[in-house]
Structure 1
Amino acid sequence: MEPLRRDVGAAGRRSARGESALAGALRETNEETGIEVAALRPRFAVRLDLDVWSYTTVAADAPAALPVAVSDRESTALEWVPADRVADRELHPGFGAAWPRLRAALLDPAPVLVVDVANVMGSRPDGWWKDRAGAARRLLASLSALAAAGIPEEAEPEPVPEPLPVVRRWPRVIAVVEGEARAAEDVSGVEVVRAGGSGDDEVVAQAALAGSGPVAVVTADRGLADRVRAAGASVLGPRRLLDLL
């Protein structure tokens, strides 16, 4: 468990051919511990890259200390350990060397992405004006896929390369819909907020309430951009999001 009062699991697993590191980590975590991985929320992934092979470790939040059970011969006992007590254990040398980096990354608040759905829909001519609810459904489906896949971390040049760089993060995704688009259904991995009045006001409210982590608002509306910056958030243009999608 970490100081943010959430239970955290870190898993580095072997992926099958064609399987992503996250999918492999979740699959083997379930196979080896019995944890219901649908309850886990991925946070970030770090990678040890030795050119000829690489090893990716995925960290995820759990809503509580979920039940675990030894289910194969690779383990003799399983238990949840508070994050500040992990280093007190007799650790595998590789994990022991990696733990300080993982611990530091766990202390970083999770990023939040607030999407001004109306503005993003209006940035691409896909017939959204004929069917706003349908266009919102398409965008929400794409956001759901992004929430599941995560966002690649843009590496910055460093004098001394980080041996375990964060290569992917899974942000909390909030999508604000208004008007006819409110008829769009909820989707997995996205918090769909239906504005009762002004969509801009709701975007500002969500940016302010998102928490202690870094918040980015996706919009091309200059007035809204000024308001969310005043609330402490950064701004991404719709094109950046659409490129990711």
Structure 2
Amino acid sequence: MTVGDMRPPFNGPRDPGDAWALGPDGTKMWGRFGSAGLLVVDRARGVLLQHRAAWSHFGGTWGIPGGARHQGEAAVDAALRESHEEAAVPADALEPLLTHVLDLGFWTYTTAVAWTVRPFEPQITDAESLELAWVPVEEVGALPLHPKFAEAWPGLKPLLGRRPALVVDAANVIGARPDGWWRDRAGAARRLLGALAAAAESGLPAGLLGLGVHTAWPHAVVVLEGQAKEALAGNDLAGDAPRLEVARAAGSGDDEIVERVRALREGGTPVTVATSDRALRERVAALGARSIGAGALREALAHP
């Protein structure tokens, strides 16, 4: 369910999260621990929307499957659970793209956005939906939307079609901290790749990528050069990490980064380069990429 839903009577035990959160001004929002919903994007068919049951708050409008978070439940997990309960959305048919958080101080609503990796048909599995439909992105705004979804939609719409890219100047990022990396460049590169592999699962702060949402799952390209190229020998950390690509530069790492950025930008992908090298930052800026310092990336990886 979406923001501010009214609920029908319950006929059995429920989670402590299935209760009202009360704001300082008396405002009531459903979900003691906040709520979450899932915006599923099928790039061939559009987005999955729920025509909301008449008994719900703003009944008859269109929104996304969702509901109250359970006690101790992560927001994305709640969005996946609720969408499965309400629309039979299979979690294994999805890959994460971003999250958007509405924070009222006493209560939050998290919209998790995911791309489909295989087609599926949603099914109405409870009384909370009048209809479920794949709606082309350009037609969403013409529907009578739930007011809070209508507020979020203009900011979400331009982010749905392309996964942002993060290109990492591994030599510069590794060299930004004097932790003995010069004694074992391959080992230092392995540690960086391990941290990026973890971030590929959990996501990165979207502000790091210049996005006005909460969390994003970019396609990361890590450029290795010199001795660091041995980082994956016998230990392919990136092999099982989604959205993480390792590029071994044949020559200059900077030149490899510039060519990677050029190719991504020609495809229309928004690109952020992680490096503190001023000359490299100027080169990628000329291609339309933004950049962040090595320290900013290290901090984000250290505090997921």
Check whether the contact 1:87–1:96 (CA below 8 A) recurs between aligned residues. no
What do residues 49-87 of structure 1 show as CA deviations (whole Å, max 9, x unaligned)? 333322222222223543433444544653422223335
1:21-40 aligned at under 5 Å gives the runs 21-40=75-94
Q: Which of residues 107, 111, 114 in structure 1 aligns to 2:158?
A: 107
List gaps (5 residues or longer) in structure 2.
1-39, 49-63
Summarize the Cα distance change of 1:190–1:87 in structure 2 as closer, same or farther, 3 Å threshold: closer
Taking only the aligned residue pairs, the percentage that are identical comes to 40
1:100 positional shift: 5.2
Q: Which of residues 195, 213, 218 in structure 2 aligns to 1:166?
A: 213
1:180 aligns with 2:236: no
Three-state SS of the structure 2 residue aligned to 1:107 is helix
Tell me which structure has the larger Cα radius of gyration. Answer: 2
In structure 2, the residue matched to 1:151 is 204
What do residues 1-52 of structure 1 show as CA deviations (whole Å, max 9, x unaligned)? 9796575455544222222222221233234433332442333333333333
1:70-149 aligned at under 5 Å gives the runs 70-75=124-129, 77-89=131-143, 91=145, 95-99=146-150, 101-108=152-159, 109-149=162-202
TM-score (norm 2): 0.63
Check whether the contact 1:34–1:68 (CA below 8 A) recurs between aligned residues. yes
In structure 2, the residue matched to 1:41 is 95
In structure 1, the residue matched to 2:68 is 14
Q: One-letter code of the match for 2:178?
A: P
Once residues 248 and 132 of structure 2 are traced to their aligned partners in structure 1, the CA distance between those partners, rounded to angstroms, is 45
Check whether the contact 2:165–2:220 (CA below 8 A) recurs between aligned residues. yes
List gaps (5 residues or longer) in structure 1.
155-164
1:206 positional shift: 1.7
Three-state SS of the structure 2 residue aligned to 1:35 is coil
Once residues 277 and 217 of structure 2 are traced to their aligned partners in structure 1, the CA distance between those partners, rounded to angstroms, is 25
Check whether the contact 1:216–1:233 (CA below 8 A) recurs between aligned residues. yes
What do residues 102-143 of structure 1 show as CA deviations (whole Å, max 9, x unaligned)? 244221354321111222122223443444343323212211
Counting matched residue pairs gives 232
Once residues 139 and 7 of structure 1 are traced to their aligned partners in structure 2, the CA distance between those partners, rounded to angstroms, is 36
1:243 positional shift: 0.7
Question: Deviating runs (4+, > 6 A) in structure 1?
Answer: 1-4
Moved more, 210-219 or 70-79: 70-79
Check whether the contact 1:152–1:168 (CA below 8 A) recurs between aligned residues. yes
Summarize the Cα distance change of 1:20–1:118 in structure 2 as closer, same or farther, 3 Å threshold: same
Three-state SS of the structure 1 residue aligned to 2:122 is coil
Summarize the Cα distance change of 1:65–1:96 in structure 2 as closer, same or farther, 3 Å threshold: farther
1:232 positional shift: 1.7
Moved more, 35-44 or 228-237: 35-44
TM-score (norm 1): 0.76
Q: One-letter code of the match for 2:113?
A: A
Moved more, 129-138 or 17-26: 129-138
Three-state SS of the structure 2 residue aligned to 1:85 is helix
Once residues 163 and 182 of structure 2 are traced to their aligned partners in structure 1, the CA distance between those partners, rounded to angstroms, is 34
Moved more, 205-214 or 7-16: 7-16
Summarize the Cα distance change of 1:130–1:227 in structure 2 as closer, same or farther, 3 Å threshold: same
Choose between structure 1 and 2 for higher RCO, CA contacts under 8 A separated by at least 6 residues.
Answer: 1
1:217 positional shift: 0.5
Pairwise CA RMSD: 3.1
Q: Which of residues 34, 56, 73 in structure 1 aligns to 2:110?
A: 56
